Structure 1
């Protein structure tokens, strides 16, 4: 006699990332995908997914938490908002000048207590203390993804030298674990030069659409080429975060043909927003939003597998915290909340608008980030034995984004007033239904900190 399943998802179009879409039933038991079958098996809860897609839970490999509000606060609000949007796992970057040996145990405790999503921790390596402890981070903390800034944020995050990058790579190899180096990949000197030039020409008269002029294409293109060469020298995998320019996509298409160490991420905001969009000061970000042709170039990169993953670079803040109403763009902080709309933006822009296969777009949001960060097939898969993190998608649903209706603690949205097609209608985490039709149905946090 067949054991009763916990959840049966019936009649859905099941998405196998970068492979195919098959109509079948998905059965969940004890927090795992138990089976896929055309049979109808007994289950405690039945979800009819007729006319909908069933996919692995979305993995957002790139967010920030705890920058403008306490970590515990944002675990409660931002991971919850993400879960409503179909996200079940998030990669969070933790920085600061302190030893991560001192700070990380508390971070891990907070995650295990209060997160609605599973968290892949990434640690920023920005000084000699952190460099000297990197091997211990990998062995003792179970963290194998690290981040450096080739271009930092003045007054907040310092940039590092090429020599320091190679030192980080050396320590990663010494750890004996499968580490990956994430990089904010821009030329710091050229950014500083462009900032100086815009200040001299426009000063406080610069408007938000001018902000892109402080990061011309060359700052990304030069740094991408340099990082690729350093990765070859070090023989260490690198992960370029938040790629933004069509020019960099073109270069990476050439580089990736012969360089096995390069992995590339863009973000859903960069795939949907230009510097001229009407949201004004809300759009300040680093790197800045660019042109429509850059959006088109990034989508070409997704289609041609130059771009491997799609994140958000979510940095939640309020209008006041962003100083969004400042008279000068120079006084506005970069960042915005984007995790809740991550899936719908990618589906609407990539699948609905451009006709990309849903299995290709979702590969960049499930299987690929899971593989890059060492958690596949536990995550990013909807095959038997994988964690039962699942999203059900209604690709026909159209909804307008209104900041007042979102679930983040932020009070503005870079998508305000825009309509997107394709939304999560159910989120299953660890084999339990936690969100449905835009609302949480289980308020118990079920996330944990993932050790690798």
Structure 2
């Protein structure tokens, strides 16, 4: 059934204008059919009155971990519950992570995740992590790019003795990514330093969540970010730094970009608004619920992140949505290093960013669209199919009421977890309707997400980034000196 959004103000990355938007139904592709003034509603169409509201591209969360097996347990939001929760908050697409175990073939892990994701209610793509290296990894990376539309690979510089990629793995994978036109992404924390600090803290009797940020100070993030960026510079490959939480890492990005290097930065909604004091909560459960890596930081770092987002040094906003219930977090009751790392946010990212970004004047509405949708679509080669209000684009749209408000609470959220890191925050600016490929998935508090309605998003390589890098960084063709 067609959907006509009538009387709203369209906001995309570059323009703001009054127009109606007509979406065709999913049977004929679920795309935007018309944009214009006073459009006629087709027979049987659903009409949404968007008077006084905004019509924007659906959010894209480029960093989630649905039903991730991790640290001896599994994230409690699966691909259905997690994407359904996202739809209720205006997020219509996610890019999740396939994370092979050490020595597990990349293709085997990818097939596992594809099976789990068949239940998704919204569209999804995958980054694939490179956690080890041999010739089979080199081969599987090519298969993933050419046959399955995976055009980004993840590298964990943390989690020693588990999935940490050392410099040899980084160099091999970055070089292979350059050959394939795929974008390397990096979790930047010095895993050796984290491991050493964890051991020292435990030896001194620090066993609770308050030790978590002490074991992962800003310097370990800054060092790893700088190292990954410089490796990418030498090899001539672009690089994307995920969940930048510290000024130290942001400074490394700014320095490299000022030198002409193609570096992208991502920031989490939580890192923009939550203070590290949460780890000193006298209630162990509340403190443990905030354990994620990198950890939440001080006001100094949060201010720097906002400035980086405003200045365009940080390009995307994400959540790193990876939720564990209280009983799972309790696995680390006697040892903070065993608390499963992860927090939520896929449902609340858009409202938290609008309230703390647009309502404070830090971001314009157009900039909000860029950092919640369009930039991710462009960097990960989904644009203009995603991230745009344009004829022919996927009908992934959110109708946004800038005057409506809600108080975030575990009692009313749709995420499958018994804690919310934004608990008690009142936000002004919410999604009243979410349309996913022409289907009405959220309407004034009524969640209509359909299990299995999401489709897999193939993302071919983006040659524009790589040709520029090759031209700028090609080794000079010189002859060896004859002696």
TM (norm. structure 1) is 0.91
1:274-293 mapped onto 2 (5 Å cutoff): 274-277=275-278, 279-293=286-300
1:88 and 1:324 mapped to 2: Cα distance?
33
In the alignment, is the contact (CA less than 8 A) between 1:186 and 1:223 conserved in 2? Answer: yes
- Identify the residue that residue 199 of structure 2 maps to in structure 1: 196
1:252 and 1:100 mapped to 2: Cα distance?
29
Aligned with residue 380 of structure 2, among 359, 373, 388: 373
- 1:49 has 2:53 as partner: no
- 1:82 has 2:86 as partner: yes
Once the two structures are TM-superposed, the CA of residue 283 in structure 1 deviates from its matched residue by 0.9
Once the two structures are TM-superposed, the CA of residue 199 in structure 1 deviates from its matched residue by 3.0
Once the two structures are TM-superposed, the CA of residue 226 in structure 1 deviates from its matched residue by 1.5
1:420-439 mapped onto 2 (5 Å cutoff): 420-439=427-446
1:180 and 1:173 mapped to 2: Cα distance?
8
The secondary structure found in structure 1 opposite 2:401 is strand
1:336 and 1:94 mapped to 2: Cα distance?
18
1:16 and 1:401 mapped to 2: Cα distance?
26
Q: Relative to 1, partners in 2 of residues 1:419 and 1:110: Cα closer, same or farther, differing over 3 Å? A: same
What are the ranges of 5 or more consecutive residues in structure 2 without an aligned counterpart? 460-483
In the alignment, is the contact (CA less than 8 A) between 1:11 and 1:25 conserved in 2? Answer: yes
Alignment: residue pair count: 440
The secondary structure found in structure 1 opposite 2:158 is coil
In the alignment, is the contact (CA less than 8 A) between 2:76 and 2:324 conserved in 1? Answer: no
1:39 and 1:423 mapped to 2: Cα distance?
25
- 1:344 has 2:351 as partner: yes
1:31-430 mapped onto 2 (5 Å cutoff): 31-43=30-42, 44-67=45-68, 74-97=78-101, 98-111=104-117, 113-128=118-133, 129-152=136-159, 154=160, 157-175=162-180, 178-204=181-207, 207-277=208-278, 279-323=286-330, 326=333, 328-430=335-437
Superposition CA RMSD, Å: 2.2
The secondary structure found in structure 2 opposite 1:114 is coil
1:392 and 1:250 mapped to 2: Cα distance?
36
1:234 and 1:297 mapped to 2: Cα distance?
29
The secondary structure found in structure 1 opposite 2:243 is coil
1:364 and 1:300 mapped to 2: Cα distance?
13
- Identify the residue that residue 8 of structure 1 maps to in structure 2: 4
2:210 and 2:297 mapped to 1: Cα distance?
9
2:375 and 2:176 mapped to 1: Cα distance?
25
The secondary structure found in structure 2 opposite 1:220 is helix
TM (norm. structure 2) is 0.86
1:115 and 1:192 mapped to 2: Cα distance?
36
In the alignment, is the contact (CA less than 8 A) between 1:119 and 1:447 conserved in 2? Answer: yes
The secondary structure found in structure 2 opposite 1:191 is helix
Once the two structures are TM-superposed, the CA of residue 168 in structure 1 deviates from its matched residue by 0.6
2:79 and 2:390 mapped to 1: Cα distance?
29
Q: Relative to 1, partners in 2 of residues 1:161 and 1:73: Cα closer, same or farther, differing over 3 Å? A: closer
Which whole-Å deviations, capped at 9, do the CAs of 1:365-387 have from their partners, x for residues lacking one?
11111111111111111111111
In the alignment, is the contact (CA less than 8 A) between 2:316 and 2:376 conserved in 1? Answer: yes
